[in-house]
Each structure stands twice: as structure tokens, then as C-alpha cells.
Structure 1
Amino acid sequence: MQLVEAGGLTIAYQRDGEGPPLVFVHGAAEDSRIWAPQFADLTDEFTVIAWDEPGAGSSSDLPDDFDLADIADGLAAWLETLDLGPAHIAGLSWGGTVLLELYRRHPALVATLILIGTYAGWKGSLPAEEVRARVASTDRMLSVQGEVFDPTLPGLFANDPPAEFVPLLAAIAADVRPDTLRIELPIMAQTDLTDLLPQIAVPTLLVWGRQDVRSPLSVAHQFHEAIPNSTLVVIDDAGHLSHLERPEQVNRAVREFCHTDPPSRAR
């Protein structure tokens, strides 16, 4: 891990490889380690970089008063500190929501968008009753002292979690900070970025697991219909974390997409 001061916070990140910058933004209750199969495969052609969002991994705590705009601005400050823009930037789940807000506020940093099983906020992509159920479920989990985030929530995988990643998932789950989830949960529940989708002007890759029940395939179609220059790749026999369950297919889709639309500034 490397550390850098950006936007008044200490940001931890992983970096490896040579070539155009390919940035990965993890989901909630995760950190940069979740991108292990992408680091293993894509560093032959790309400079692969993944941050630990504030409040995750080895980064500073997430300030209590941060909202989605603050987190996106923090991502922008980190990208600018490392001189990474414009870059291919991929976001998973909650990370994709952060990435959408980054694009709204700092479009010059984004060469292309890669959105994996994400949302236009829960309010923007899910029925109201589903949002209420998720908030209630997470609130119950956070109310139990010492409760560890479950890395095998229904819908994260189409089948059993891949055996090779179970220790990794357990290690990441053990490091989840409940205070971070308490801040992020209402943000996700109240966010609706559907107005932004038709305004996205950069090439956009949508990667979805066919069996994803966290962000169902209907959300992928919502994105595909709304974003003008978008390509949808559906990964069979995969759930929400398709990049772990079927890394070969996801990495191939990412590689081909990045070849088609390289950033204007290669590294």
C-alpha cells in the first residue's frame, strides 16, 4: 500500500503496472483489496490503481459531515494529486455511484466510465420498499455490538463465493468500520442521480452479473437506455461481484473497452 495526502485526508492506494491509467473504486464495506483479480491480470497493459475510500482500508476515517459530493471531491483530489486524469475509471456498486458524482463535478478527470453492478443511488434505481428494507436490515446489523459485515450477502454471488477469495472476503469484512456504513447508508438511500445519466458524454461500459439481485439487471437496462454512448456486457452465472466470480470475462470486457477508447493522455 502507498499513502498520499489529498483533500485534507490520508488516502491509501495500490498501484501496479505500466500504460494508460485504469482506476478502480470499490463498493461499500470493501476496500482496494477487492480488486485482486484485476491487479493480477490487467497490469500488463495498464497502470492499475485502486484507492481505499476514506473510512475504508488504510485510509483516514470518513468525516461525519461528508456527503456524496464530498466523497467525490475527495476522489478528485486524490486523482489530481497523483496526476491520473483523464483516466479509465471503474466503479463497483456504491463505488459506481461515487464515480457518477465524480463525473458530474469533475468530468475532465474521466476519459471513460466503467460501471459494474452499480446504482444511480438506491433511490434512483430501486423501488422505495426495497430501499426501506435495506436500510432496516443494515440498521439492525449495525445495532449489534461487534457484528461483522457478512461478505456473502444474498445476491453478491450467483453460487457459493469462489473458494480462492473466501479468505480475502473475510479479511475485508473484518476491517469494515461500522461508523463508515452509518454515514454511507443514508447517502445511498437518499441519492437519485437519474438526471445525470443522459448527460454522460464519455464512452461508458456497463458490466452486470445476470443473477445480480443487489443491483438487478433491470438497473443495467435503465443505465443502458439513458446513457447515450454505453455498452452493456452481461456476465452469465454471476451475481453482484461479477469481477470476483467471473474475473476472466469481466477483465476481457474491460480490456477490450479500454483498447477501443484510450485516454487522450497515455502514460
Structure 2
Amino acid sequence: MKAYLLLFFLILSQLFALAQPAAIPYGHNPVAGHYQLVRGVKLYYETYGQGPPLLLIHGNGDNISAWAKNIPYFARGYRVIAVDSRAHGQSVDASDSLSFEMMADDFAGLLSSLRIDSAYVMGWSDGGINALVLAMRHPEKVKWLVATGANLWPDSTALMPGLWRQQQRGYQENKNVTFTDPKRKNDWKVFCLDVFQPNIPLAALRRVRVPAFIIAGDQDVIRPEHTVAIYRALPRAWLWIVPDSGHATLQEHAEEFNRKTDAFFQAKKVLPPAR
């Protein structure tokens, strides 16, 4: 009898597993994935949902999968366009150079190729920097923007000292290495992006005329005073320092992050006037 019961529960558990929806492989989803040639690079992106376009931009060394806890929420009311930045994920870039300006131009080109005049934009870490640079270089492409964990320059006045020292040590130890393996060469290019960039004066943020929501964790790798300085320099901005959060606010506090950023996009009538 015990053997029959064991077999019954085994079959039942298998049927239950089959009845569960399979996890969506964000970043490697053939159903939602597309390639678009933009400025010499085949950018990989995935689309979900319908509604106003929302562009999602991940951080350094990451890919679309970083948004796995956010895409399902926003796909209910937006046309989510999650993209692998050049030299990241499936957006292969064989060139030697990489900059935030190049990537911002890529995103503007992608939106144009999709016949999208403007989109809501949300970026994390390097993606937050990209969101700000996109709004500066291509203001017509950005409706409203969210930037979490972003910095304007790469020294220890913007980054927490521990991270800055780690980056400097990594650079000094490898700066004379000749990388022949394509992946290691690409990884080094991506790493050096954050060692030397961005270099954005606070005054340049005055060019961002669209509403912006600036976010960071209270235990982020970005100095809190730097995040506040970004907020204060923007003409129309909200600020949220997330309690008990590190750099990954969108993952560590996904439910609250989704609700608040969505409320920001919807809150046109309660934003502060342009400063």
C-alpha cells in the first residue's frame, strides 16, 4: 500500500508541476526576442505587453534578465521593450570603444527603428546613467525617466570608497594585459567603462526637462549625497532613498519598486513645477 501511495503522490506532483506556468527565460526568450541593426550593432531586445512604450535598460555586465521581477508587472499596462546594451548579453559589439553616449544613441536609434516617437525610460545603475544621457542627447525620445543607482562621475566622491578601490585595483592589475579571447576582451571593455566614465557635470542635468524619478538604496554603492545632488540638479524630479536596500533596489524591493515607479509615471498632476 505504501508503494501505491508513493506512486500516486509522485504522479500527482508531476501533474502539478506540468500545470504550473514555465518560468519565462528573460534575456533568452525566443518568443519575445528580436534583433535590430542599429548603428552597426545588432541590438537584441524583447517585448512584452501592450500600451505606452517603456524602455528598460540594465546595468554594467548584466542583461535583460535583470528585470525578471519587474517585466511581468509593467507588461500589464505598458509595451515593455527590454534591451541588451551594446557589448552586453546578446548585443555583440566587436569594437574597442564603449561609452554612455554611444549607448544612448543606440537606444534612440532603436526607438526610431521601432517607429516609437518617445517612451518612458527606466534604467538601473549604468542603465540609470544611460537614461539620463538619453534624455540629454535625445530629449524628444524620453517621456519620463526613472534612474536607480546612477552616478555622474567615477571617483570616490560619487562611488562608495570600497567599490572605487576595488575598481582601481582591478584596473591596475590588468591594464597591461593583452586580451586575445573575445569574451575576456569584451569583459575588460565593459569593466573599463565604469572605471573612466561617466563624466557628466551636474550643470548638464539642467538640459533634462522631462520629469525624473531618482532612486537609490540607503546602503547603495552610490554615495547618498551624490544621489541627492543628482536629484537637486534636475529641473523636475522626485527622490526616493529606499530603506534597507543595497544597489539592487528593483530586485530587493521589487513589489514596492514596481508600484512606486508606476505611480510616478501616472502622477502627471502632482509633480513639482520645473525649477
The bucket for the TM-score relative to the shorter chain is: 0.7 to 0.9
User: Which deviations, in whole Å up to 9, do the C-alpha atoms of 1:66-104 show, x marking residues without a partner?
Assistant: 333222211211121112331110111111222222222
SS of 1:233's partner is: strand
1:198 aligns with 2:180: no
1:12 aligns with 2:18: no
SS of 2:54's partner is: strand
Q: Residue 232 of structure 1 corresponds to which residue in structure 2?
A: 239
Paired with 1:243 and 1:141, the residues of 2 have a C-alpha distance of 32
Paired with 1:259 and 1:124, the residues of 2 have a C-alpha distance of 35
Paired residue for 1:242, among 238, 249, 263? 249
Q: Residue 267 of structure 2 corresponds to which residue in structure 1?
A: 260
Once superposed, what is the RMSD of the aligned Cα atoms? 2.7
Percent of aligned positions that are identical: 24
Listed as ranges, the matches of 1:133-148 within 5 Å are 133-139=165-171
Paired with 2:227 and 2:191, the residues of 1 have a C-alpha distance of 22
Per the TM alignment, residue 206 of structure 1 is displaced from its structure 2 partner at its CA by: 1.1
Structure with more relative contact order (C-alpha pairs < 8 Å, separation 6 or more):
1
1:81 aligns with 2:113: yes
Paired with 1:258 and 1:207, the residues of 2 have a C-alpha distance of 14
1:40 aligns with 2:72: yes
Distance 1:132 1:241, change over 3 A: closer
Per the TM alignment, residue 182 of structure 1 is displaced from its structure 2 partner at its CA by: 2.3
> Which one is further off, 43-52 or 120-129?
120-129
Paired with 1:33 and 1:109, the residues of 2 have a C-alpha distance of 24
Paired with 1:124 and 1:69, the residues of 2 have a C-alpha distance of 22
> Which one is further off, 22-31 or 90-99?
90-99
Distance 1:6 1:95, change over 3 A: same
Distance 1:190 1:35, change over 3 A: closer
Paired residue for 2:189, among 183, 190, 194? 183
Amino acid at match of 1:222: A
Distance 1:50 1:125, change over 3 A: farther
**What are the ranges of 5 or more consecutive residues in structure 2 without an aligned counterpart?**
1-32, 270-275
Per the TM alignment, residue 124 of structure 1 is displaced from its structure 2 partner at its CA by: 9.3
Per the TM alignment, residue 5 of structure 1 is displaced from its structure 2 partner at its CA by: 1.4
Distance 1:92 1:136, change over 3 A: same
> Which one is further off, 80-89 or 57-66?
57-66
User: Which deviations, in whole Å up to 9, do the C-alpha atoms of 1:124-161 show, x marking residues without a partner?
Assistant: 96269768624324337868x9xxxxxxxxxxxxxxxx
User: Which deviations, in whole Å up to 9, do the C-alpha atoms of 1:30-75 show, x marking residues without a partner?
Assistant: 0011001111211111111110011111112252133332222112
Paired with 2:153 and 2:47, the residues of 1 have a C-alpha distance of 28
Q: Indicate conservation of the 8 Å contact 2:210/2:236, yes or no.
A: yes
> Which one is further off, 29-38 or 79-88?
79-88
SS of 1:84's partner is: coil
**What are the ranges of 5 or more consecutive residues in structure 1 without an aligned counterpart?**
146-175, 263-267
Paired with 1:112 and 1:141, the residues of 2 have a C-alpha distance of 40
User: Which deviations, in whole Å up to 9, do the C-alpha atoms of 1:184-209 show, x marking residues without a partner?
Assistant: 44443243212322332110011211
SS of 2:97's partner is: coil
Listed as ranges, the matches of 1:15-94 within 5 Å are 15-61=47-93, 63-94=95-126
